[in-house]
Chains A and B, each alone.
Chain A
Amino acid sequence: MTTISASPEAAAPTAAASTLDLAGVSRWYGNVVAVNDVTMRLGPGVTGLLGPNGAGKTTLLHMMAGFLAPSRGAVTLDGEPTWRNPGVYRRLGLVSEREAVHSFLTAYEFVLASAKLHRLPDPEAAARRAIALVEMADAQDRRIGTYSKGMRQRTRVAAALVHDPQVLLLDEPFNGMDPRQRLHMMQLLHRLGDAGRTILFSSHILEEVEQVSGTVQVMVAGRLAASGDFRTIRRLMTNRPHVFAVRSTDDRALAVALMAEVSVTGVELDRAGLTVRAGDYGAFTRALPKIALAHGIRVRQLTPEDESLESVFSYLVEA
């Protein structure tokens, strides 16, 4: 396993910035290892925690947030352990994946209660500021139970931000959001990251993180598979070999013709048709019709194979 070269931090750490450190962190349940020897350091800026379902992202986030003891290793925020240490919540905010809110409260009451529990000097002002930050001021006096999913999510973010934490952890914050809400949330996270906050969000959908400009940590099967600059990983992802199943009027002739195409890295011929490996998705799909036309072959079927998230992530691991 290789690690993709890590980029320098996007923003220079400010004096008040916090660092979340994971040193050789593992967590197992009986015989099942959920998180396996993960070491990472999170500094200011936006970091995406990527991985397929069941990769251990939530377990890792729970350990970061002090809701789970590491079986081995240590999670520290500015040198203090997060486990059994409620004091860290002065600097840390968590938006968990479970959409659990006190639906009988209004957004304002809910965020205000958070501010009061944080013993903020001016809880009303802090609640209004946090609600304005997520642009929920118009609906703040309605019961949370009447909100759409995106609005509930923003309310939860407001509650997690009410004490202006240095570190904000979000577990699958884009789940169930429409593209507009997603963009809005991403912009909010970036504003916070640019202001020197340490922001970590998890996601199992690659496309969700397309707008991220920061760092990406990729988890596969409990291990930290890759970490580094998002653009590098994105390039690796677009340039990964793609596999297509092709059926045509003359498979053998098409196979010969395809081997001359630069984007094609391999062709396999069997009774079912052709299995074509291409290095560049776009170049191959543009070239295929031209090649077929030039040789008088009709393509009956073109299906990309092997597009599962797991295969993309495991490709990243091998890259």
Chain B
Amino acid sequence: MSTVSWITARGLFGRRRFLMLLPLPLVLVALAVLCRSLGVDPGQWGPPVLVGLGLAVVLPVVALIVGTGVLGAEIDDGTVVHILTKPLPRWQIVLPKLAVAVGVSAATVAVPLYVAGVLADSVRLGLALAAASALGALAYSALFLALSLVTRRPVLLGLVYVLIWEGLLGNFVSGTKVLSIQQWVIALADRMAPTELLSTTVSVPVAGVLTALVSVGFTVLAIDRLRSFSVAGETS
């Protein structure tokens, strides 16, 4: 484990905000268990729990907390200077941090989605949801990591993207769904385990290519922005 990822992980788990990650996945599993034990038809509870809660809320919110935490929190409190005053090429800082963000988000989201998928339909759906959400975690993490370098309010901007763009506009302007990570994840999961429970709006090739583009593009952007990282001009 590289020193950068070690410090990043220690910083992430050492902050109180990390505790915010726990309730959402627990609620997801609890709802799935409840519906299943009450014998509700999966066609009824599947879409709102798996998609409405799991893919539309738990995945992006967890990725947002973690993705802005791995670098944005260090920028906020100034500790990032300790890592930046080292003769490391900047990709050696961005990639380990991205890896930690993706790993933590994917683990936090994929496990409850797997459980919920199994309860709703089959192991195959569970695995498909887990794999697709891991890919989604990659795209979201790259986006939010880059956001913490281009704006001073990455959490706010990230929320605007998740809630307004993906959540709200998608319902009215169907074109916005093409640029929605959430829709790509649904398309990819449906491809891996075709089911009635998931309704796709984007074609699989488009989803695959855009997921890759977003992941790589925002990572490259983050590396470039970190190269020209300026300490805020506060004089004392």
- Interface positions of A (Cβ within 8 A of B): 29, 34, 53-59, 62, 65, 67-69, 83-84, 86-90, 92-94, 96-98, 100-102, 104-105, 113-114, 116-119, 159-160, 172, 204
- Interface positions of B (Cβ within 8 A of A): 3-4, 6-7, 10-11, 14, 77-79, 81-90, 227-231, 233-236
Central interface residue in A55, A90, A98, by most chain B CB within 10 Å: A98
Instruction: Determine how close the nearest CB of chain A comes to the CB of B149; give it in whole angstroms.
Output: 14
Central interface residue in A67, A84, A96, by most chain B CB within 10 Å: A67
Known A57-B235, A86-B87; 12 more pairs at CB < 8 Å: A54-B235, A56-B235, A59-B235, A68-B233, A86-B88, A92-B85, A93-B85, A102-B7, A104-B10, A105-B7, A113-B3, A172-B236
Contacts of A69 in B (CB 8 A): 228, 230
Central interface residue in B81, B85, B235, by most chain A CB within 10 Å: B85
Q: Which 10 A-B pairs have the closest CB atoms?
A: A100-B78, A104-B14, A98-B78, A117-B86, A67-B231, A116-B3, A89-B87, A100-B79, A90-B87, A94-B85
Contacts of A83 in B (CB 8 A): 228
Central interface residue in A55, A113, A117, by most chain B CB within 10 Å: A117
- In the bound assembly, the distance between CA atoms of A56 and B235 in angstroms comes to 7
Please pick, from A58, A65, A88, A89, the residue contacting B235 in the complex, using a CB distance under 8 A. Answer: A58
Q: Are A34 and B233 in contact (CB under 8 A)?
A: yes
Q: Are B3 and A117 in contact (CB under 8 A)?
A: yes
Q: Are A114 and B82 in contact (CB under 8 A)?
A: yes
- In the bound assembly, the distance between CA atoms of A101 and B3 in angstroms comes to 16
Please pick, from A29, A98, A118, A172, the residue contacting B233 in the complex, using a CB distance under 8 A. Answer: A29
A-B contact pairs, 15 of them (CB 8 A): A57-B235, A62-B231, A67-B81, A68-B233, A69-B228, A69-B230, A84-B228, A86-B86, A88-B87, A89-B86, A93-B85, A100-B77, A113-B7, A117-B83, A159-B82
Q: Are A68 and B82 in contact (CB under 8 A)?
A: no
Q: Are A67 and B229 in contact (CB under 8 A)?
A: yes
- In the bound assembly, the distance between CA atoms of A107 and B85 in angstroms comes to 18
Contacts of B228 in A (CB 8 A): 69, 83-84
Contacts of B78 in A (CB 8 A): 96, 98, 100
Q: Are B10 and A105 in contact (CB under 8 A)?
A: yes
Contacts of A86 in B (CB 8 A): 84, 86-90
- In the bound assembly, the distance between CA atoms of A119 and B82 in angstroms comes to 14
Central interface residue in B84, B86, B230, by most chain A CB within 10 Å: B86
Contacts of B14 in A (CB 8 A): 104
- In the bound assembly, the distance between CA atoms of A317 and B196 in angstroms comes to 80
Q: A58-B235, A58-B236, A105-B10 are in contact. Are A65 and B85 (CB under 8 A)?
A: yes
Please pick, from B7, B11, B90, B230, the residue contacting A67 in the complex, using a CB distance under 8 A. Answer: B230
Instruction: Determine how close the nearest CB of chain A comes to the CB of B9; give it in whole angstroms.
Output: 11
- In the bound assembly, the distance between CA atoms of A172 and B86 in angstroms comes to 21
Instruction: Determine how close the nearest CB of chain B comes to the CB of A74; give it in whole angstroms.
Output: 16
Central interface residue in A57, A59, A113, by most chain B CB within 10 Å: A113
- In the bound assembly, the distance between CA atoms of A99 and B82 in angstroms comes to 11
A204 and chain B: residue at smallest CB distance: B236
Contacts of B83 in A (CB 8 A): 117
Instruction: Determine how close the nearest CB of chain B comes to the CB of A98; give it in whole angstroms.
Output: 4
Central interface residue in B7, B14, B83, by most chain A CB within 10 Å: B7
- In the bound assembly, the distance between CA atoms of A68 and B88 in angstroms comes to 18
B231 and chain A: residue at smallest CB distance: A67
Q: Are B82 and A67 in contact (CB under 8 A)?
A: no
B14 and chain A: residue at smallest CB distance: A104
- In the bound assembly, the distance between CA atoms of A94 and B78 in angstroms comes to 13
- In the bound assembly, the distance between CA atoms of A114 and B4 in angstroms comes to 10
Instruction: Determine how close the nearest CB of chain A comes to the CB of B177; give it in whole angstroms.
Output: 39
Q: Are B236 and A104 in contact (CB under 8 A)?
A: no
Please pick, from A68, A101, A172, the residue contacting B79 in the complex, using a CB distance under 8 A. Answer: A101
- In the bound assembly, the distance between CA atoms of A104 and B73 in angstroms comes to 14
Contacts of B7 in A (CB 8 A): 102, 105, 113
